[in-house]
């Protein structure tokens, strides 16, 4: 068998020989299927998105009224407010003390996957369950977790990402299996012993075959660790256009492990832009959840979940509260409005990105649900969604304003620089920006360049114009002394990377993949002594 190598780390309590062996066993069992499915994604992309339809091969699953998913686990019954965030030490404590019903510890959109971040995140999760998680801030503030904690769900990275610090015969292991495997290995039993379970959010799936792969991973992992089958639960994010056509099938594949679906609205919009490069959408703030194609997708999601006895969880209102009282009130109103729409449509709970929004989301769901833990009984049989409606994305803007163009340039540059510096979520201009929202900015810029979209000041968007704006943005930061040596390096790398990605002939799939491969895979790998070669 090929030798296993691991990058040096001080997290030897997390990367124990047994834990590495478990991750390697997962990757040896499922790595090849993952690669085949990624290849299938590439081949499928050649199909025109306009021709997408519900699959004929799985029609029987869709029309069969008799199957449902497993009943919700006791502590996943009431999910009216879920907070998300990276499992960074202080934020882990704040999220656990936030009063939310669920905390999603995020290794995907909100985490820049440096070796340090992915391993410290695992340690923080383990320490939280051991009751040893504490933190002292540089200003002396002490942080400790309280007693009434939310249920924890963990979002591993998507199938497309490798974890290059662990290699089998020189081949990087899957980042999904790495994050999932380490968490299950260290925390699975602890969660069961405290009356909960190992629960997951599964991001960026593109088909039910990818859900089947996850289900097979769960069955294998539970058996290997001696955990009863069906203990793992997982909520799948519907955040790609192809997955929207396979919601029933995704629930079906995972039915003994399913904990419903979530409307991952930002990645969904990103997926739509990527897959319909010909249809120019207006700036991000103007494509709201009431756009017909977004509405069709969320309505179908609620209906599909409730018909199968599963929770439908709403998406992220990406505003964060400001210190300015007027802006803070505006943000809360925006969140309230968004959550009201969701609960009225039948969602059973929703996401917030900040502890300051938990109360607002809870109030809205309390008002509607009262003492009921969810509204799965509302079957939404009135909803009929066709393939045409899911794809009903129309070119609504013929021109792009200078403000929109500069905003996308600024957010893309600042976010990619922050990500390269190790921060996967940042607040920019009152908005939460993470990998999904930044991808929207990046792909919109690509789309505007590739279609030569006119600006409202008379010139088309070109690569030259956007690269000039990137340089101007960087110059302003440099001139105002905002950049220290490290951030200047990250901004330089971000600008170079964006310049390449924005001028590719076809829209690059993810920025995180080349950014990771170019800038986060350093370190000499060493043989993993205890793992059999
Ligand atoms: C599209 C999607 O996938 S959405 C899901 C993925 N994205 C996310 O999860 C983003 C989560 N949110 C965040 O990371 C943060 O809210 C940010 C980065 C946007 C803003 O964070 P900050 O700049 O620290 O905001 P702010 O200064 O207002 O924070 C106030 C306090 O709340 C804490 N806080 C803010 N957001 C969170 C959170 N999501 N979880 C836990 N604690 C949080 C901060 O740590 C800070 O704590 P302190 O007062 O003890 O120092
Ligand atoms: O993961 C959530 C999203 O909106 O993207
Ligand atoms: Mg997402």
484 or 47, higher pLDDT: 484
- Report pLDDT digits (tens) over 136-161: 999 999 999 998 999 999 999 999 99
Whether ligand 2 lies within 6 angstroms of the CB of 314 is answered as: no
> Which residue intervals of 308-357 are DSSP H helices?
325-345
Whether ligand 2 lies within 6 angstroms of the CB of 266 is answered as: yes
Residue ranges of the chain assigned to CATH 3.20.20.360: 16-49+56-389
Whether ligand 1 lies within 6 angstroms of the CB of 427 is answered as: yes
Q: Is the pLDDT of residue 373 over 60?
A: yes
pLDDT at 294: 95
Please report the atom of ligand 1 found closest to the CA of residue 356.
Answer: 32
Whether ligand 1 lies within 6 angstroms of the CB of 438 is answered as: no
Whether ligand 2 lies within 6 angstroms of the CB of 317 is answered as: no
Helix/strand/coil for 298: helix
How far is ligand 1, taken at its centre, from the CA of residue 141, in Å? 17
Q: Which CATH number, 3.10.130.10, 3.40.220.10, 3.20.20.360, 3.90.226.10, labels domain 16-49+56-389?
A: 3.20.20.360
Q: Is the pLDDT of residue 532 over 60?
A: no
The backbone torsions φ and ψ at residue 500, rounded to the nearest 5 degrees and listed phi first, read -70, -50
Q: Is the pLDDT of residue 287 over 90?
A: no
pLDDT at 245: 97
- Cβ atoms 88, 95 nearer than 8 A: no
pLDDT at 523: 57
- CA dist 448 and 280 (Å) reads 7
Ligand nearest the Cα of residue 263 is 2
Task: Give nearest CA residue, ligand 2 atom 2.
Answer: 264
- CA dist 130 and 145 (Å) reads 11
Q: Is the pLDDT of residue 473 over 90?
A: yes
Whether ligand 2 lies within 6 angstroms of the CB of 353 is answered as: no
Ligand nearest the Cα of residue 262 is 2
Which residues are annotated as catalytic? 155, 434
How far is ligand 1, taken at its centre, from the CA of residue 532, in Å? 41
Whether ligand 1 lies within 6 angstroms of the CB of 83 is answered as: yes
- CA dist 455 and 464 (Å) reads 14
522 or 115, higher pLDDT: 115
In testing the pocket of ligand 1, which one of 112, 317, 332, 353 has its CB within 8 Å of the most ligand atoms?
353
- Report pLDDT digits (tens) over 205-221: 999 999 999 999 999 99
- Cβ atoms 443, 415 nearer than 8 A: no
**Structure tokens given for 301:** 């999601």
Helix/strand/coil for 391: coil
* Nearest in space to 477 (alpha carbons), one of 488, 485, 467: 488
Please report the atom of ligand 2 found closest to the CA of residue 316.
Answer: 4
- CA dist 254 and 233 (Å) reads 9
Q: Is the pLDDT of residue 396 over 70?
A: no
How far is ligand 2, taken at its centre, from the CA of residue 273, in Å? 15
Q: Which of 32-46, 58-72, 356-370, 385-399 has the lowest mean pLDDT?
A: 385-399
Stretch 113-133: mean pLDDT: 97
Q: How many helices (H) and strands (E) does the chain have?
A: 18, 16
Residues 6 or more apart whose Cβ sits within 8 Å of residue 129? 152, 187, 190, 191, 194
Q: Is the pLDDT of residue 167 over 70?
A: yes
CA atoms within a 13 Å half-sphere pointing along the CA-CB vector of 353: 23
pLDDT at 530: 46
Ligand nearest the Cα of residue 107 is 1
Q: Is the pLDDT of residue 345 over 70?
A: yes
How far is ligand 3, taken at its centre, from the CA of residue 200, in Å? 14
Mean pLDDT of the chain: 95
Task: Give nearest CA residue, ligand 2 atom 3.
Answer: 264
Whether ligand 1 lies within 6 angstroms of the CB of 82 is answered as: no
- Cβ atoms 155, 104 nearer than 8 A: yes
**Residue 109's pLDDT band (cuts 50, 70, 90):** very high
- CA dist 471 and 322 (Å) reads 29
- Cβ atoms 304, 402 nearer than 8 A: no
Whether ligand 2 lies within 6 angstroms of the CB of 342 is answered as: no
Residue ranges of the chain assigned to CATH 1.20.1220.12: 402-519
How far is ligand 2, taken at its centre, from the CA of residue 337, in Å? 19
- CA dist 394 and 73 (Å) reads 41
Name the strand (E) or helix (H) holding 99: none
Whether ligand 2 lies within 6 angstroms of the CB of 75 is answered as: no
How far is ligand 2, taken at its centre, from the CA of residue 266, in Å? 5
In testing the pocket of ligand 2, which one of 156, 203, 206, 438 has its CB within 8 Å of the most ligand atoms?
203
**Residue 531's pLDDT band (cuts 50, 70, 90):** low
**Residue 378's pLDDT band (cuts 50, 70, 90):** very high
Q: Is the pLDDT of residue 126 over 80?
A: yes
> Could you report how far apart the first and last alpha carbons of the chain are, in Å?
5
Stretch 294-302: mean pLDDT: 97
Task: Give nearest CA residue, ligand 1 atom 37.
Answer: 354
Residues 6 or more apart whose Cβ sits within 8 Å of residue 334? 317, 319
How far is ligand 1, taken at its centre, from the CA of residue 42, in Å? 35
Q: Which CATH superfamily is domain 402-519 in?
A: Malate synthase, domain III (1.20.1220.12)
Q: What percent of the chain has pLDDT over 90?
A: 85
- Cβ atoms 316, 432 nearer than 8 A: yes
pLDDT at 397: 60
- CA dist 347 and 312 (Å) reads 5
* Nearest in space to 199 (alpha carbons), one of 152, 130, 261: 152
- CA dist 131 and 62 (Å) reads 44
Q: Is the pLDDT of residue 527 over 80?
A: no
Q: What is the pTM of this model?
A: 0.97
**Residue 118's pLDDT band (cuts 50, 70, 90):** very high
**Structure tokens given for 32:** 């090849």
**Residue 72's pLDDT band (cuts 50, 70, 90):** very high
């Amino acid at each position: 068998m090929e030798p296993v190598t691991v990058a040096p780390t001080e997290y030897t309590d997390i990367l124990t020989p047994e834990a590495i062996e478990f991750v390697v066993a997962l990757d040896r069992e499922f790595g090849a299927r993952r690669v085949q499915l990624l290849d299938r994604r590439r081949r499928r992309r050649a199909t025109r998105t306009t021709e997408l339809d519900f699959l004929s091969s799985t029609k029987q699953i869709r029309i069969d009224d008799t199957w449902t998913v497993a009943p919700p686990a006791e502590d996943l019954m009431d999910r009216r407010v879920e907070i998300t965030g990276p499992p960074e030490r202080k934020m882990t404590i704040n999220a656990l003390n936030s009063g939310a019903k669920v905390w999603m510890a995020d290794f995907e959109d909100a985490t820049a996957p440096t070796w340090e971040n992915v391993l410290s995140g695992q340690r923080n999760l383990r320490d939280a369950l051991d009751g040893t998680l504490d933190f002292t801030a540089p200003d002396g503030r002490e942080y400790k977790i309280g007693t009434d904690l939310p249920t924890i769900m963990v979002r591993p990275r998507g199938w497309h990402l490798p974890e290059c610090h662990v290699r089998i015969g020189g081949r990087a292991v899957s980042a999904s299996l790495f994050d999932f495997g380490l968490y299950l290995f260290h925390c699975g039993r602890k969660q069961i012993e405290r009356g909960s379970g190992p629960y997951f959010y599964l991001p960026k799936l593109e088909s039910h075959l990818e859900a089947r792969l996850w289900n097979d991973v769960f069955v294998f992992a539970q058996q290997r660790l001696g955990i009863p089958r069906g203990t793992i639960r997982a909520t799948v994010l519907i955040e790609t256009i192809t997955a929207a056509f396979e919601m029933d099938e995704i629930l079906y594949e995972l039915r003994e492990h399913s904990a419903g679906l979530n409307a991952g609205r930002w990645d969904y919009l990103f997926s739509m832009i990527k897959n319909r490069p010909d249809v120019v959408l207006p700036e991000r703030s103007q494509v709201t959840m009431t756009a017909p194609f977004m509405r069709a997708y969320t309505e179908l999601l609620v209906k599909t979940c409730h018909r199968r006895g599963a929770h439908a969880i709403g998406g992220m209102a990406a505003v964060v509260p400001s210190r300015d009282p007027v802006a803070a009130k505006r943000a809360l109103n925006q969140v309230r409005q968004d959550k009201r729409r969701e609960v009225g449509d039948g969602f059973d709970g929703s996401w917030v990105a900040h502890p300051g929004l938990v109360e607002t989301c809870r109030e809205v769901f309390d008002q509607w649900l009262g003492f009921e833990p969810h509204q799965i009984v509302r079957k939404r049989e009135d909803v009929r969604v066709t393939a045409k409606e899911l794809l009903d994305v129309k070119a609504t803007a013929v021109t792009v304003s200078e403000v929109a163009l500069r905003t996308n340039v600024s957010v893309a540059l600042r976010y990619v620089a922050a990500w390269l510096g190790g921060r996967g979520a940042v607040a920019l201009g009152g908005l939460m920006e993470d990998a999904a929202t930044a991808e929207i900015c990046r792909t919109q810029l690509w789309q505007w360049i590739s279609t030569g979209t006119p600006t409202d000041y008379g010139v088309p968007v070109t690569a030259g114009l956007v690269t000039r704006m990137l340089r101007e943005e960087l110059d302003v930061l440099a001139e105002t002394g905002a950049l220290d040596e490290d951030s200047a390096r990250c901004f330089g790398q971000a600008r170079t990377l964006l310049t390449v990605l924005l001028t590719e002939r076809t829209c690059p799939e993810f920025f995180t993949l080349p950014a990771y491969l170019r800038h986060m895979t350093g370190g000499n790998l060493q043989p993993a002594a205890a793992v059999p070669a």
